[in-house]
Every structure is written in structure tokens, then in C-alpha cells.
């Protein structure tokens, strides 16, 4: 492996994004496949308003760039990390967007040192060429690090050279653990864009203690899965004067693009293996959560398989993505470490028309059945375009088809006017207050995820002293609860608003 350092040159360049992640499956149907306008398509004003402009705040200077804690927390034998950010898996579909976003950030932060990493030098050269074309930045001398998940030494060498590794190599159930191990050993903090609960929870179970002892922060789910849900829930809790009892989240996609933008195949691979192994989560959770959260006296309103949400202006279906797993772990962590009252959380996909929503349910059931049986699972994996009606593709979406997309996450909280300071004590009167917040951003999976994970990585780099404990494995809502991540995201085109 190698880590050739080259000189960065500066140029111009504008932000970008792409989509994927959580609501993508259901959202996709809305876009081109049998959309029926008019049926229950009352839309939310927040979601339909134009996206906020991307601003690039200047945060120059070495001293402001790196958290003072980086040096303080470095243990004997730990590497210094030549590069502030290393994008691992830069050659992948999503990795390319992340690589470009990091280059844009570095263009505004001249002291930021970054490198791209992947298992093939030639592919990394191509990533670099594409990044130069898409960002219009010179980027000729971005260092390229060769590292392969099947070669642990190469991973350790990469980790030794990094302050923060942005890991875009998935499916994480197959490739993630070795990168986490290498980062802990090499002393590099780590963020990833996994949306796989089993991987995320297993990493927390297996590595939380070791990471803490080593002073390393491992923060998973830093993409569209599941930062809008996790930070949106914290934002909603902070917007309440009193306590929040329950949060109902609806994820929807607004797609004004002319083309059809399928989701890249690897995300489908993650979903299929996740569904096939979902029963294993029970055992992991038994070990991970040895204590019970306090039990609220009032359960949220029960929802069926299909209902209309007035707050989101959408027909809603159950959402099986990773958000619930992530939000509930953050809530638990913030209860244990910060004495914050945990909420009850439920997640749905929002669809604008009733007929598409019904089609979505049928598709979801068929997908689940096919993913559960080994023979049909292999058919799904072999012919993704055919069996998903073009929803997933091995080529990924065209960039131009991502540009006019927008995600909208609507979170409605029910709670009380008053706070009871002790989160162990329960309200005995029913919740009377309701509040809705929205999180709106560009196409979720690619442009959106690239923005989100890059800002998470920068936050770790610049605000490590505000992250929990000396290190550990955390979901984003626990890792970033005391940081400025939300305002960083707002500065970069992802809005958090209280719905009036
Ligand atoms: N959180 C979110 O909202 C969100 C959004 C988008 C994607 N994702 C997740 O991100 C992951 C990547 O998705 P994608 O669509 O970008 O997939 P992809 O295009 O298939 O990219 C996979 C990357 O992993 C690399 N890789 C595979 N095996 C490797 C190995 N043994 N050693 C080193 N690198 C290896 C690939 O390298 P080569 O190029 O050399 O093959 C490539 O760079 C998936 O898990 C996906 O679910 C999450």
C-alpha cells in the first residue's frame, strides 16, 4: 500500500449531492412509476419550499480546524495521522460524491489535508479525474492510499495516516468490522454511512469499550441513514418547552427531475442481507441493552399498515430502514449519559398518492418474501433491475437525475407543556401538546449523504472535545448532541425547521 502525498491546488467549485438511503425504495415509486396525482396529495409547505442555498463558511487555520483534544487524547504509540480526512471507498458510487464533497470543503479550508483510499490504484486515479471534472478543482496532487479490506496491514497503515476515516465501503456486514478494528488500533476516528442495524449494533456491542480505552470515536449511520431522523428528533425535543412522549417520523421524497434515478445495487444488497438475517438482531439487542429504559405511561397512537398523515401530507407505510434502530440507541445513550428523557419513536415512508402507496405495500411484501428465501434471494441479487421494476440498478443513477430531488423528513412529537426533571419519573396525565419539525435537503442517498457524512467527519475533527466520553461507538444523535453539527448542516443546504 502507499500513501503518496501530493500538493493540493485550489480552484473554484460548487456543491453537489445524490440520493439513496432510507426512504429510497418507496420514494422511488413516487417518481415515475404509476404516480396518480390528486389522490390525497395535500403537501406540506416546508417540504415543497425551495432548498436553502449551500453556504461554505470559512473556518481556516490549523488551530481552529483540529480539536485541541486530538493531541490530548493521543495515547503512546498512536499515529499522528498525516491526513485530517481519508475517504475510504472513494471509488464507489457514493464514495465518489463524498470524495468530491471533501475536496470542496478543503477548497474552503486551505489547511485541511485529505486523501482518497481504495483497493485499486487505477480506480482511485479515475475517481480523482472524475472529481476534478465535477468540482472544477485542480486536485492533481490529492494523495491516494491503497487499502483492501482483505489485507489488514493495509487497513492499519491507512488508519495510521488518518485523523478521521470516512468509510464508504459497503455492505458493512461484510467489510465494515475490519475497518473499525484498524481504526481503533491505528488511533483514527471513524464515521460511516451504514444503514445496516445489525452491523451498527454489533460494532457498538463488540468495540465500545476498546474504542473508549483507545480514545477513538466510531460513529456509524452518518448518512441520510440516519442523521436527519436522529438529529431531527433531538431538534424536536429541544423545540418543546416540556417533555416529549412520542415521535412519529415520515420520510418522503420530492422528485422534480425528468429522468428515472434508480438506487445503486449495493444498497439493495445491504437491504436483502439485512432482511434475511433480521431475526439475529434479537440476540444482539439482548446483550447490548442489559437494562430497560423507563416505561412511559402513554403509548403513541397505534397506526395500521396504511394511514394518511395530516402533518406530512402523505399516505404512510411502515419504514423498515435503520432509523428506528439508530434513534432509539441515541435516545438510550443520551438518557444514560445526559439524563435526557427518551422518546418513543416510530418511522414511516410517505407517499403522495394512495394507489402508489398500495403498490408500495405489495412490492414491500414481495421483496421481503423474496429476500427471506435463499433461492429467490439469489434471483433478486442476480437480476435486481428486473425484480424491482428498475428501482435498483447496478449502474446507479445518472447525476443529472439527482439534481432536482429533495428529501423531506417530517417529525411530529406529542408531549407535555411541563418538564419533569427526573427522566425516570413519568407524567401521569395524557400528552396535550403537539409539534412538528421538518428536515429538508437535496437528494438523500448521494448528494445529501455526501454532505452529511462530510460534515459529521469535520465535526469529529474540529469538536472531538464535545463528543461523549473519551471515545467509544456511538450513533450520530449521541455522538453529536453537544456539537454544532446541526448548524453546519444548515450552512450546507439541509434545513431544520419548526412547522408553524
Ligand atoms: N446512509 C445512506 O443513506 C447511504 C447512502 C448511500 C450509500 N450507502 C451505503 O454505502 C455503501 C456503499 O454504497 P455504494 O452504492 O457506493 O456501493 P459501491 O458503488 O458498490 O461501492 C462500494 C465500495 O466499496 C469498495 N470495496 C468493496 N470491497 C472492498 C474491499 N475488499 N476492500 C476495499 N474496498 C472495497 C469498492 O471498491 P472497488 O471500487 O474497488 O470495487 C467501492 O469503493 C453501501 O453500504 C450503501 O448501503 C448509505
* Range of weakest confidence among 78-82, 125-129, 187-191, 394-398: 78-82
Cα of 95 vs centre of ligand 1, distance in Å, is 7
Task: Report yes or no on 371 lying in a domain.
Answer: yes
Q: Are residues 32 and 171 in the same domain?
A: no
- pLDDT at position 304: 87
Cα of 483 vs centre of ligand 1, distance in Å, is 28
3-state secondary structure of 472: strand
What is the average pLDDT across 374-400?
Answer: 92
CB atoms near residue 281 (< 10 Å): 16
Dist. CA 359–CA 262, nearest whole Å: 17
- pLDDT at position 62: 37
- pLDDT at position 363: 92
User: Mind giving me the DSSP string for 6-20?
Assistant: ---------------
Q: Are residues 168 and 87 in the same domain?
A: yes
3-state secondary structure of 117: strand
Residues 476 and 226 sit within 8 Å (Cβ to Cβ): yes
Q: Phi and psi for 81 in degrees, rounded to 5?
A: 85, 95
| pLDDT score of 40 more than 60 | no
Place of cell 419519573: 425
Dist. CA 109–CA 88, nearest whole Å: 20
Q: Whose CA is nearest to atom 33 of ligand 1?
A: 148
Mutate to test the pocket of ligand 1, among 168, 191, 262 (most ligand atoms within 8 A of CB): 168
Q: Are residues 427 and 452 in the same domain?
A: no
User: Mind giving me the DSSP string for 324-389?
Assistant: HHHHHHHHHHHHHHH-PPPPEEEEEEEESSHHHHHHHHHHHHHHHHHHHSHHHHHHHHH-HHHHTT
User: Mind giving me the DSSP string for 411-422?
Assistant: EEEEE-SS--S-
Task: Report yes or no on 324 lying in a domain.
Answer: yes
- pLDDT at position 67: 61
- pLDDT at position 41: 39
Q: Are residues 231 and 216 in the same domain?
A: no
- pLDDT at position 47: 63
Task: Report yes or no on 265 lying in a domain.
Answer: yes
Dist. CA 236–CA 85, nearest whole Å: 31
Query: In 250-340, where does DSSP find H-type helix?
Result: 265-276, 281-288, 323-338
Check the CA dihedral 380-386-391-396 and report its sign.
positive
| pLDDT score of 60 more than 70 | no
Q: 223 burial class (0-12, 13-18, 19+ CB within 10 angstroms)?
A: buried
Cα of 454 vs centre of ligand 1, distance in Å, is 16
Place of cell 447496478: 394
User: Sorting pLDDT into bands at 50, 70 and 90, what band is 257?
Assistant: confident
Q: Are residues 383 and 283 in the same domain?
A: yes
Higher pLDDT among residues 29 and 306, named by residue: 306
- pLDDT at position 419: 96
Mutate to test the pocket of ligand 1, among 90, 93, 94 (most ligand atoms within 8 A of CB): 94
Q: Are residues 110 and 93 in the same domain?
A: yes
User: Sorting pLDDT into bands at 50, 70 and 90, what band is 261?
Assistant: confident
Q: Are residues 32 and 143 in the same domain?
A: no
Cα of 486 vs centre of ligand 1, distance in Å, is 26
Task: Report yes or no on 110 lying in a domain.
Answer: yes
3-state secondary structure of 105: helix
| pLDDT score of 12 more than 90 | no
Q: What are 84's three cell numbers?
A: 485530517
**Position in ligand 1 atom list of the atom nearest CA 444:** 3
Question: What's the order of all strands across the beta sheet hosting 472-474?
Answer: 144-146, 114-118, 83-88, 162-167, 189-192, 217-219, 472-474
| pLDDT score of 33 more than 60 | no
| Segment 187-228, tens digit of pLDDT | 999 999 999 999 999 999 999 999 999 999 999 999 999 999
Task: Report yes or no on 484 lying in a domain.
Answer: yes
| pLDDT score of 50 more than 70 | no
| Segment 268-308, tens digit of pLDDT | 999 999 999 999 999 999 999 989 999 999 999 899 899 99
| pLDDT score of 374 more than 70 | yes
Dist. CA 130–CA 156, nearest whole Å: 27
Q: Are residues 379 and 276 in the same domain?
A: yes
Q: Whose CA is nearest to atom 27 of ligand 1?
A: 169
Task: Report yes or no on 3 lying in a domain.
Answer: no
Q: Whose CA is nearest to atom 48 of ligand 1?
A: 193
Dist. CA 447–CA 183, nearest whole Å: 26
3-state secondary structure of 295: coil
Q: Are residues 91 and 196 in the same domain?
A: yes
| Segment 467-500, tens digit of pLDDT | 999 999 999 999 999 999 999 999 999 999 999 7
3-state secondary structure of 410: strand
3-state secondary structure of 405: strand
User: Sorting pLDDT into bands at 50, 70 and 90, what band is 390?
Assistant: confident
Residues 366 and 25 sit within 8 Å (Cβ to Cβ): no
Mutate to test the pocket of ligand 1, among 267, 442, 447, 456 (most ligand atoms within 8 A of CB): 267
Task: Report yes or no on 57 lying in a domain.
Answer: no
CATH number at residue 116: 3.40.50.720
- pLDDT at position 93: 97
Dist. CA 369–CA 375, nearest whole Å: 11
Dist. CA 137–CA 56, nearest whole Å: 15
Confidence (pTM): 0.88
Dist. CA 405–CA 255, nearest whole Å: 4
- pLDDT at position 358: 94
**Position in ligand 1 atom list of the atom nearest CA 453:** 1
Percent of the chain with pLDDT over 70: 84
**Position in ligand 1 atom list of the atom nearest CA 223:** 1
Q: Give how many domains the chain has, as a whole number.
A: 2
User: Sorting pLDDT into bands at 50, 70 and 90, what band is 78?
Assistant: very low
Give Rg (Cα) of the chain.
22
Task: Report yes or no on 19 lying in a domain.
Answer: no
Residues 35 and 352 sit within 8 Å (Cβ to Cβ): yes
Q: Are residues 130 and 237 in the same domain?
A: no
Cα of 18 vs centre of ligand 1, distance in Å, is 14
Residues 408 and 46 sit within 8 Å (Cβ to Cβ): yes
Q: Are residues 237 and 385 in the same domain?
A: yes
Q: Whose CA is nearest to atom 4 of ligand 1?
A: 21
Cα of 327 vs centre of ligand 1, distance in Å, is 23
Which of 444, 461, 479 lies at the terminal end of a domain, its last residue? 444
User: Sorting pLDDT into bands at 50, 70 and 90, what band is 61?
Assistant: very low
If phi > 0 it is left, if psi is from -120 to 50 it is alpha, else beta; for residue 136 that is: left
Dist. CA 80–CA 77, nearest whole Å: 9
Q: Which residues contact 359 (CB under 8 A, 6 or more apart)?
A: 29, 33, 34
Pocket of ligand 1 (CB under 6 A): 20-21, 89, 91-95, 118-120, 123, 148-150, 168-172, 175, 193-195, 223-225, 264, 266-267, 270, 445, 449
Dist. CA 490–CA 482, nearest whole Å: 16
Averaged pLDDT score across all residues of the chain: 87
Q: What are 173's three cell numbers?
A: 456486514
Dist. CA 214–CA 339, nearest whole Å: 25
- 195 lies in which domain range? 62-223+445-494
Dist. CA 447–CA 96, nearest whole Å: 10
Cα of 443 vs centre of ligand 1, distance in Å, is 18
Dist. CA 136–CA 14, nearest whole Å: 8
Q: Are residues 379 and 244 in the same domain?
A: yes
Cα dist from 168 to 71, 93, 95, 171, 343, whole Å: 26, 9, 6, 9, 30
Amino acid at each position: 500500500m502507499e500513501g503518496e502525498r501530493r500538493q493540493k491546488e485550489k480552484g473554484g467549485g460548487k456543491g453537489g449531492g445524490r440520493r439513496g438511503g432510507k426512504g429510497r425504495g418507496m420514494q422511488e415509486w413516487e417518481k415515475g412509476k404509476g404516480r396518480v396525482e390528486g389522490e390525497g396529495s395535500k403537501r406540506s409547505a416546508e417540504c415543497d419550499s425551495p432548498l436553502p442555498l449551500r453556504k461554505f463558511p470559512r473556518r481556516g487555520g490549523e488551530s481552529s480546524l483540529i480539536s485541541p483534544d486530538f493531541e490530548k487524547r493521543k495515547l503512546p504509540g498512536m499515529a499522528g495521522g498525516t491526513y485530517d480526512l481519508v475517504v475510504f471507498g472513494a471509488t464507489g458510487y457514493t464514495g465518489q460524491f463524498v470524495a468530491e464533497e471533501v475536496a470542496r470543503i478543503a477548497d474552503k479550508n486551505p489547511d485541511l489535508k485529505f486523501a482518497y483510499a481504495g483497493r485499486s490504484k487505477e480506480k482511485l486515479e479515475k475517481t480523482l479525474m472524475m472529481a476534478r471534472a465535477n468540482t472544477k478543482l485542480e486536485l492533481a496532487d490529492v494523495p491516494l492510499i491503497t487499502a483492501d479490506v482483505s489485507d489488514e496491514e493495509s487497513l492499519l497503515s491507512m488508519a495510521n495516516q488518518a485523523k478521521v476515516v470516512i468509510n464508504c465501503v459497503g455492505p458493512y456486514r461484510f467489510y465494515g468490522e475490519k475497518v473499525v478494528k484498524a481504526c481503533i488500533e491505528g488511533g483514527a476516528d471513524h464515521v460511516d454511512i451504514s444503514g445496516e442495524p445489525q452491523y451498527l449494533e454489533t460494532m457498538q456491542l463488540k468495540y465500545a469499550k476498546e474504542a473508549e480505552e483507545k480514545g477513538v470515536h466510531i460513529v456509524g449511520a452518518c448518512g441520510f441513514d440516519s442523521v436527519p431522523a436522529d438529529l431531527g428528533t433531538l431538534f424536536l425535543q429541544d423545540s418543546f418547552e416540556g417533555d416529549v412522549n412520542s415521535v412519529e417520523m415520515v420520510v418522503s421524497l420530492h422528485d422534480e427531475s425528468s429522468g428515472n434515478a434508480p438506487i445503486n445495487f449495493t444498497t439493495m444488497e445491504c437491504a436483502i442481507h439485512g432482511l434475511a438475517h433480521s431475526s439475529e438482531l434479537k440476540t444482539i439487542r439482548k446483550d447490548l441493552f442489559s437494562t430497560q429504559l423507563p416505561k412511559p405511561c402513554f403509548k403513541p397512537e397505534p397506526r395500521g399498515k396504511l394511514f394518511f398523515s395530516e402533518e406530512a401530507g402523505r399516505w404512510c407505510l411502515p419504514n423498515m430502514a435503520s432509523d428506528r434502530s439508530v434513534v432509539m440507541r441515541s435516545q438510550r445513550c443520551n438518557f444514560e449519559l445526559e439524563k435526557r428523557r427518551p422518546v418513543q419513536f416510530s418511522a414511516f415512508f410517505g407517499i403522495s398518492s394512495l394507489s402508489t402507496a398500495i403498490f408500495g405495500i405489495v412490492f414491500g411484501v414481495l421483496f421481503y418474501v423474496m429476500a427471506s428465501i435463499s433461492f429467490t434471494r439469489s434471483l433478486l441479487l442476480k437480476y435486481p433491475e428486473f425484480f424491482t421494476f428498475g428501482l435498483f440498478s447496478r449502474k446507479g443513477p445518472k447525476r443529472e437525475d439527482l439534481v432536482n430531488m429533495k428529501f423531506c423528513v417530517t417529525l411530529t412529537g406529542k408531549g407535555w407543556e411541563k418538564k419533569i426533571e427526573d427522566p425516570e419519573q413519568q407524567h401521569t396525565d395524557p400528552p396535550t401538546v403537539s409539534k412538528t419539525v421538518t428536515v429538508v435537503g437535496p437528494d438523500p442517498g448521494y448528494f445529501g449523504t455526501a454532505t452529511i457524512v462530510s460534515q459529521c467527519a469535520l465535526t469529529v475533527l474540529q469538536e472531538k472535545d464535545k463528543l461523549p466520553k473519551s471515545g467509544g461507538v456511538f450513533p450520530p444523535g449521541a455522538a453529536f448532541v453537544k456539537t454544532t453539527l446541526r448548524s453546519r448542516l444548515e450552512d450546507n443546504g439541509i434545513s431544520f425547521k419548526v412547522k408553524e
